Every structure is written in C-alpha cells, then in structure tokens.
Amino acid sequence: MEGFIGTYMPKMVTIRVKYLIPIILMTINIFLKGLKR
C-alpha cells in the first residue's frame, strides 16, 4: 500500500501540503492571538 501511494499520489500530496501549511500557520497565529488576549 505504501508503495502504491508513493508511486501514484506524490503530486497530490505535495499540492495538498502547499495549501495546508499556510492554512495551519494562519490557524496557529489566530489561536495564539486569542490566547494573548
């Protein structure tokens, strides 16, 4: 199964990571700002 994912889905994973990282950073920043208040 891992080999299948590694050969079939690397582009999808990289695209998802590129979109997910900024969203995660935004949510973390909002969460930290909420805690500081």
What pLDDT digit, counting tens, does each position of 17-26 carry? 888 889 999 9
Q: What percent of the chain has pLDDT over 70?
A: 76
What is residue 34's predicted lDDT score, i.e. its pLDDT? 92
What kind and span of H or E run contains 1? none
- Spatial separation of the C-alpha atoms in residues 5 and 1, rounded to whole Å: 6
What is residue 24's predicted lDDT score, i.e. its pLDDT? 93
- Into how many domains does the chain fold? 1
pTM recorded for the entire structure? 0.49
- Spatial separation of the C-alpha atoms in residues 18 and 3, rounded to whole Å: 22
Q: Which domain holds residue 21?
A: 2-36
What is residue 29's predicted lDDT score, i.e. its pLDDT? 95
| Residue segments in the chain with a per-residue pLDDT below the cut of 70 | 1-9
